[in-house]
Amino acid sequence: MRWAAPAALRLGEFSLRFRPLDLGWILLTTLGLFAAVLAAATIGSFPLGWQQVWAGLWQPSGSGEGAMAHQVLWQLRMPRILAAMLVGACLSLAGVILQSLTRNALAAPGLIGVEAGGSVTMLMSLVLFPGLVPVYLLPLTALAGGLVVAVFILMLALRGDFSPLRLILVGIGTTAMLQAVSELLLTYGDIDRVESALMWLGGSLHKVTWTEVRVLALWFLLAGVPAMFAFRQLNLLQLGPAVASSRGLSQRRTLAVLLLASVMLTSSAVATAGTMVFVGLIGPHLARQCCGDRHGILLPLAALSGALLVLIGDTLGRWVFAPLQLPAGLVVAIVGAPYFIFLIARRREFAN
C-alpha cells in the first residue's frame, strides 16, 4: 500500500526513514495536544471562554475586557501548561532511552535513582533547612541531588562491561535507601514544613512560575533535542552489542552520553514538578503502540505523548474536584498503575 510505503528524510549525515502513517500519528498527537492546551486555558477557578482566551493572549494587560484574562493566562495558566508539557516530554524521552539501553520495556526514569535523589535534597531544603535556599532556587537543589545520585549509580554500573542488570539492581538498592531517608524526614519533620513538601512530592505544578519554565526549557534543549537525534545509535543498540560494534558504534561512550541525557531530563522534570512515577513508563509505550521500536519516530512521538499525558492529568486535577486541586502526579498514577499491571500481565516475558 502506498500509504504504508516508507520514505526517507536526510538532514546532513542523519537519514530518517518513516511511513506516512507515522506522520499521521504525530499530527494526530499534536492536534490532541493543541486541544488539551486550549481546554487547560479555559478551565480553572476563574473560567474563561474562547473569546476571552483569545483576547487575553493578544490584548495588553493595561485595560479592557481582556485585562483580567490576560493576567490569569500569562501569570497563572500558561506557565503551568508549558511546564506540564515540558515535564511530560522530558520524562517520556528519558523513559525511551532507559528502555532501549537496558532492553527492558518496563524500565522507567525512577530506575536510576534520580527521582529519589531529587526528593531527598528537596525535602532537606524544605524540612530541615527552611529559608536557607531562596524559593526560586529550590528546584535547583532537587536537580543537584538527582544528578549526584545518578552519577554515583552510573559509575557503579559502568565499571567493567556495561550490564543492564547491574544498572537495575544498583538503582533499586539506592532508590530504596533514599526513599527510607525521605520517609524519615516526613515522619519526624516539623508538621507545617512537611505539609508544604507533600504537595511537591505528589507531582504538583500549582506553584510553577516562568522561571521554572525557562530553566526546564533550557535543560530540554541541552539534553532532549540532542537525544532525539541519537535515533540511529539507539536502533543499533537494540540489535545487540555485536551488531552495534560491527557498525563502528563505541558502546561505552554512547551508553555514557545517553544515560547522562536521561539523567538530565529526569532531574530537570523532578526539580520542577516532583515525582511522576508512571509518565516515563506510559508515554513511551503509548508511542510504541503506534510506531514500534523505530526510534526516529518513537522519540518525538513519545515526547508528544508524555506532554499530552501530563497536561491532561494536570487539567483533570484542577477540574474534577474544583476548587480542590489534585496533583498531576496523583492523577497520572491513578491511570498509570492499572496500565502497568495490564502491561505485566500481557507481556510476561519482560520479567525473564
Q: Which residues partner with 17 through β-bridges?
A: 8
What is the tens place of the pLDDT at every residue in 178-233?
888 888 888 877 777 777 677 767 777 877 888 889 988 998 999 999 998 888 88
Rg value, the chain, Cα: 21
When pLDDT is cut at 50, 70 and 90, the band that residue 11 belongs to is: very low
Calpha distance 108→158 (Å, rounded): 18
Q: Which residues contact 305 (CB under 8 A, 6 or more apart)?
A: 29, 88, 92, 283, 284, 286, 287
Has residue 3 got a pLDDT over 50? no
* pLDDT at 177 > cutoff 50: yes
Domains in the chain (CATH in brackets) are 105-275 (1.10.3470.10), 277-352 (no CATH)
pLDDT (mean) for 94-118: 80
* Arithmetic mean of pLDDT, 300-310: 93
84: confidence class by pLDDT, cuts 50, 70, 90: very high
Has residue 308 got a pLDDT over 90?
yes
Q: Answer yes or no: are the C-beta atoms of 20 and 4 closer than 8 Å.
A: yes
**Tell me, what's the pLDDT at 217?**
92
Q: How confident is the model at residue 13 (pLDDT cuts 50, 70, 90)?
A: very low
Cα dist. 117→207, 225, 270, 333 in Å? 21, 24, 10, 20
At 146 the pLDDT is 78
pLDDT at 30 over 90: yes
φ, ψ of residue 9 to 5 degrees: the values are -125, 125
At 94, phi and psi to the nearest 5? Answer: -60, -40
Whether residue 146 contacts residue 321, with contact meaning beta carbons closer than 8 Å, is answered with no
